[in-house]
Structure 1
Amino acid sequence: MRVQSSATTAPPIAVTTRRQRPGLGGTFQAGLGVVAFSLTFPATAWGLEGFGPWTLVAVRSVLAAALAGCCLLALRVPPPARRHWPGLAVVAAGVVLGFPLLTTLALRTSTTAHAAVVVGLLPLTTALFSALRMGTRPSRTFWAAALAGAAAVLAFTVRQSGGALTAADGCLAAALVVCAAGYTEGGRLARVMPGWQVIGWALVLCVPLTVPAAVLALSAEPVHLTGHGVAGLLWVAAGSQFLGLVVWYRGMAAVGIPRASQLQLAQPLLTLVWSVLLLGEHLTAAAPLTAAAVLVCIAVTQRSRS
């Protein structure tokens, strides 16, 4: 005799989840990084009022490494796995040493407006490095908007600087390449470890070089302690070299390197605003129009799909 079960099969429970807009937190953090970076050139110009270029670069790295080291020790963070150290070395060479040194040397003879040209090309260069290193494939719309934004920034900054090339352009071009490589590698590492640990360990990795360099530079270059000089040094050490990179790498890990990098299209324009407010430089009437064009390009890159 066949016995029928009285149990009935319960209908599947429909689970509804509210769709959230992805990447908003990452975009916000990357944007904070851009704001911090936009102050780097004006702060460097202030720092050069009291310190020589080699002293400024070496001491800022030592101070940033001390801040990062204290955080790592306080939280008892274990050293990264051996496989991550080559990537950290790229971050150290590009972001901790290369970009600060090359741009500081350039700013001895270049205005902050002219130096902003390198930042205008940095988003596009970073996206290219990401495509080569990590195999990301942004859409054609993304590339079109990125190229348009870079062209707008370049046209504005070259016009702002009088259209003349300077002897510092070689340093700026080299800084562009090494920084894009450091950003790409740091964004990749930030997917497997917290962003602040990426820049923290990269800074610590440079200590055997930066501490002797700071001692030598302080003994060779004169130091004139001024309010601007000290404020500039403290900002490029804490804000640009550590805290700004912490939120920047977190944002890159959240929204992807190509999309995050395009937020830096706004950085040259922000730098020029700070240059007016802090250094007394003058802007042309083209600034608002360029800012509007750049914001449109950023919006397109953020909405485009890979």
Structure 2
Amino acid sequence: MKKTTDGWLSGLLGVLIFSGSLPATRLAVQSLDPIFVTCARATIAGVLGFLLLLGYREARPERRDLFPLLLVALGVVLGFPLLTALALRHITSAHAIVFVGLLPLATAIFGVLRGGERPQMPFWVFSALGSGAVIAFAMRNGVSASPIGDVLMLLAIVVCGLGYAEGARLSRRLGGWQVISWALVLSLPIMLPLSWWMRPATFDHVGQPALWGLAYVSLFSMLIGFVFWYRGLALGGIAGVGQLQLLQPFFGLMLAAALLHEKVPAAMIVVAIAVVTCVAGARHFSRTVAVRRP
């Protein structure tokens, strides 16, 4: 029980850290190219991850770990940051954040496909209801004015769910911070040259908010948040702890309102209460059920 509780607490801390990712990314891409932001955040975090691995003298991953680490890198180091950065050129962070409501379902599905988890049927009911509540909240004012931004966000959710599930599976053997550090190090040979190539000719036009946004997504979103998040998924279960992501849109919306002065409707409170109820229900039924074999 203590192990599961520790997992949920670690996962919640990870969600709180990730909640600032989209507002910080939007700050960064207002003055910086989205591709540069994606490459720079991975490069900065990758260098720090390399120093951590070197300082703690971590053993190299086994050959069987290389493909899963590559999937983690493609999902959370490259795919999600790049797709969201591009999407935020077309939509507001408040609108992008609500797509995170689909991330728990995506993570749970990949947890079944890649992690071998089998949650009880009521878990899927609560998960679907929670996601539905977030999506309904997102669509309260009709379809987004930018289909391109919406498609990019949907693709981001799919690759991120795969990266979360794969990283959590590896974390059970390698450890949470080791997984994201190795994934970042694997990305360095590509991200470091691209960062140099895509860098602005001058940073004179780049304001402090953009630089602070880049710093946040590099240190917290790309590295520190994953230390807690992968630990939480590994201890508490991929499908179950993944439901905490339903809370991320509301944490993120509050940050968007505070930092970017984006409008947050009062209906958010009602939907947030419904989502918390669904998360509690999903947690109760998230325990994996035994699968009968002939």
Normalised TM-score (structure 2): 0.94
Partner Cα distance (1:168, 1:303) in 2: 35
Structure 1 gaps of 5+ residues are 1-19
Deviation by residue 1:183-235 (Cα, 9 ceiling, x = unmatched):
11001001101100000000000011101111111157976332101110010
Contact kept, 8 Å, 1:125 with 1:176, in 2: the verdict is yes
RMSD: 1.5
2:292 aligned residue: none
1:200 paired to 2:178: no
TM-score by length of 1: 0.90
Deviations 1:84-116 (A, max 9, x none): 111000000000000000000000111112112
Which range is displaced more, 223-232 or 114-123?
A: 223-232
**Partner residue, 2:144:** 164
User: What letter is aligned with 1:118?
Assistant: F
Mapping for residues 1-306 of structure 1, pairs under 5 Å: 20-159=1-140, 162-166=142-146, 167-218=148-199, 224-304=205-285, 305-306=287-288
Structure 1 pair 22–195 and aligned structure 2 pair: CA distance change class (3 A): closer
With over 3 angstroms needed to count, the CA separation of the structure-2 counterparts of 1:162 and 1:210, relative to structure 1, is same
Q: Distance in 1 between matches of 2:126 and 2:137?
A: 17
Read off the aligned partner of 1:163 and give its amino acid letter.
V
CA distance in 2, matches of 1:214, 1:221: 14
Taking the aligned partners of 1:239 and 1:191, their CA distance within structure 2 comes to 22
**1:186–1:249 CA contact under 8 A, matched in 2:** yes
Q: Deviations over 1:145-166 (max 9, x none)?
A: 000000001111222x653252
- What whole-Å deviation, never above 9, does each CA across 1:114-152 have from its counterpart, x for those lacking one? 112321101011111111223311111100000000000
Aligned residues: 286
The runs of at least 4 consecutive aligned structure 1 residues that moved more than 4 Å come to 219-223
The residue that corresponds to 2:291 in the other structure is: none
Instruction: Give the whole-Å Cα distance in 2 for the aligned partners of 1:106 and 1:294.
Output: 25
Q: Matched residues, percent identical?
A: 42
Structure 1 contact 47–230 (Cα < 8 Å) conserved:
yes
Query: Which residue identity lines up with residue 106 of structure 2 in the other structure?
Result: T
1:50 positional shift: 2.8
Contact kept? 1:52, 1:222, Cα under 8 Å: no
Q: Which has the higher Rg, Structure 1 or Structure 2?
A: 1
Partners of 1:109 and 1:118 lie apart in 2 by 14
Bigger shift: residues 123-132 or 195-204: 123-132
